[in-house]
Amino acid sequence: MNTLKETQGKMSHDSHYMFTCKQQRSPVWVPGPIIVGAGPSGLAVAACLKDQGVPSVVIERSNCIASLWQLKTYDRLRLHLPKKFCELPLMPFPEDYPTYPNKQQFVEYLEAYAKRFGINPVLNSRVERAEYDESVGMWRVWSVGMKGEVVEYVCRWLVVATGENAEEVVPEIEGMVEFGGEMKHTSEYKNGSVYKGKKVLVVGCGNSGMEVCLDLCNHNAKPSLVVRDAVSILFPSSTIHKFLF
Ligand SMILES: Cc1cc2nc3c(=O)[nH]c(=O)nc-3n(C[C@H](O)[C@H](O)[C@H](O)COP(=O)(O)OP(=O)(O)OC[C@H]3O[C@@H](n4cnc5c(N)ncnc54)[C@H](O)[C@@H]3O)c2cc1C
């Protein structure tokens, strides 16, 4: 990990660092698209291509598929949308799954999906750079592994499936630096057991903020929720909820 950080640090000062120092092998030719990211989107693209007889290579920076769901979500998470809106192409959810599958069920479904379509991502490999070489009509894609090893791929098509929630965003809030207490982003929150009896301020009241608050209450913590603007809540029994879902 340190070597990876060192490589990234050096690259931020010298964009040609990885090309001059670390590349160990000759470029790997991929006879189909490279897909960056092994989340649900990357898996779905790989499966649909496979279904049409097109091979692909999926490159994932984490050590597992669906890393957002496996590594960066809280224990009590269920799909926020009914399962019919969340299933991937070509393979429905198991019939005995509830309307809102829990995190474990969703991950098991994604693992079964990857297995069914023979998707074996290159794990622990972060894509750092991609360039389209117009002279040959090919993409050159460089990834960096855990030990700082650089692999160059050459392919005709590049699919970026790196997600919209994969990077945590922590806004700058006045007083944050002086505040002496613990602060964490929801991606690091697992459950409220360690907050029993403590006062916790939850900033943001989207799905995650509200659910974390409920979890804190269930663990006998004392949460407060900061709401920036008006809040709309759709109760499952409401007409509009029934209309939408
Ligand atoms: C708490 C929570 C609840 C949610 N509930 C629902 C729901 O009920 N229904 C729903 O449809 N969606 C839900 N979402 C939205 C969520 O974004 C999707 O479920 C889904 O994970 C999106 O899939 P994705 O493949 O587009 O992105 P991601 O799951 O984010 O996957 C992107 C992948 O790309 C990898 N990656 C990123 N950069 C690189 C790089 N440079 N090199 C290599 N790999 C890289 C990441 O490690 C990650 O594995 C929820 C999200 C959260 C956080």
Which H, E and C letters describe the chain, residue by residue?
A: CHHHHHHHHHHHHCCCHHHHHCECCCCEECCCCEEECCCHHHHHHHHHHHHCCCCCEEECCCCCCCHHHHHCCCCCCECCCCHHHCCCCCCCCCCCCCCCCEHHHHHHHHHHHHHHCCCCCECCEEEEEEEEECCCCEEEEEEEECCCCEEEEEECCEEECCCCCCCCCCCCCCCCCCCCCCCCCHHHCCCHHHHCCCEEEEECCCHHHHHHHHHHHHCCCEEEEECCCCCCCCCCCCHHHHHHC
End of a domain among 160, 176, 198? Answer: 160
Q: Tens-of-pLDDT digits for all 245 residues of the chain?
A: 444 345 445 444 544 444 444 555 789 999 999 999 999 999 999 999 999 999 999 999 999 999 999 999 999 999 989 999 999 999 999 999 999 999 999 999 999 999 999 999 999 999 999 999 999 999 999 999 999 999 999 999 999 999 998 889 998 989 998 999 999 999 999 999 999 999 999 999 888 999 999 999 999 999 999 988 888 777 766 777 777 77
* Closest ligand 1 atom to Cα of 162: 34
For a mutational test of ligand 1's pocket, the pick from 8, 162, 208, i.e. the residue with the most ligand atoms closer than 8 A to its C-beta, is 162
Check: pTM over 0.75? Answer yes or no.
yes
CA of 136 to the centre of ligand 1 (A): 33
130 is a domain residue? yes
69 is a domain residue? yes
Query: Based on the domain organization, do 36 and 93 belong to the same domain?
Result: yes
103 is a domain residue? yes
Tell me, using a 6 A CB cutoff, whether residue 124 lines ligand 1. Answer: no
Query: Based on the domain organization, do 220 and 122 belong to the same domain?
Result: no
CA of 62 to the centre of ligand 1 (A): 12
Query: Based on the domain organization, do 144 and 207 belong to the same domain?
Result: no
Query: Based on the domain organization, do 102 and 67 belong to the same domain?
Result: yes
Q: Rounded distance, CA 59 to CA 79, Å? A: 25
Tell me, using a 6 A CB cutoff, whether residue 210 lines ligand 1. Answer: no
Query: Based on the domain organization, do 55 and 154 belong to the same domain?
Result: yes
CA of 85 to the centre of ligand 1 (A): 15
Return the biggest CA–CA distance within the chain.
64
- Closest Cα to atom 29, ligand 1: which residue? 39
pLDDT at 239: 72
Q: Rounded distance, CA 81 to CA 245, Å? A: 8
End of a domain among 105, 125, 160? Answer: 160
Domain residues for 48? 3-160
Number of domain units in the chain: 2
What CATH number is associated with residue 77?
A: 3.50.50.60
CA of 21 to the centre of ligand 1 (A): 32
**Amino acid sitting at position 134:** E
End of a domain among 144, 160, 176? Answer: 160
pLDDT at 22: 57
Query: Based on the domain organization, do 156 and 190 belong to the same domain?
Result: no
pLDDT at 19: 44
User: Which tokens is 24 given?
Assistant: 């160990």
Contact 150, 26 (CB under 8 A): no
Q: Rounded distance, CA 101 to CA 93, Å? A: 9
Partner residues linked to 201 by β-bridges: 224
